[in-house]
Amino acid sequence: MDFETFYRCELSSMVGLARTICGDAETAKDIAQEAMSKAYENWPKIAAYDKPGAWLRRVTINLAISKRRRVGRELSLLRRSAALRRTEVRHEDVRPDDEVWDAVRQLPPRQRAVVALFYQDDLSTTAIAEILDCSVSTATSHLSQARAALAVTLGESSAEYVEVGS
Instruction: Give pLDDT tens digits for 29-82.
Output: 999 999 999 999 999 999 999 999 999 999 999 999 888 776 665 555 545 544
Domains and their CATH numbers in the chain: 1-86 (1.10.1740), 87-166 (1.10.10.10)
Element (H, E) at 144: helix 136-154
pLDDT band at 155 (very low <50, low <70, confident <90, very high): confident
Q: Under the phi-then-psi rule, with left for phi > 0, alpha for psi from -120 to 50, and beta for the rest, what region is 156?
A: alpha
Instruction: Give pLDDT tens digits for 88-115.
Output: 444 444 444 677 888 888 899 899 989 8
What is the overall mean pLDDT for the chain?
80
**What is the C-alpha separation between 140 and 101, in angstroms, rounded?**
19
Instruction: Write the DSSP string, 93-109.
Output: G--HHHHHHHHHTTS-H
Q: Percent of the chain at pLDDT above 90?
A: 44
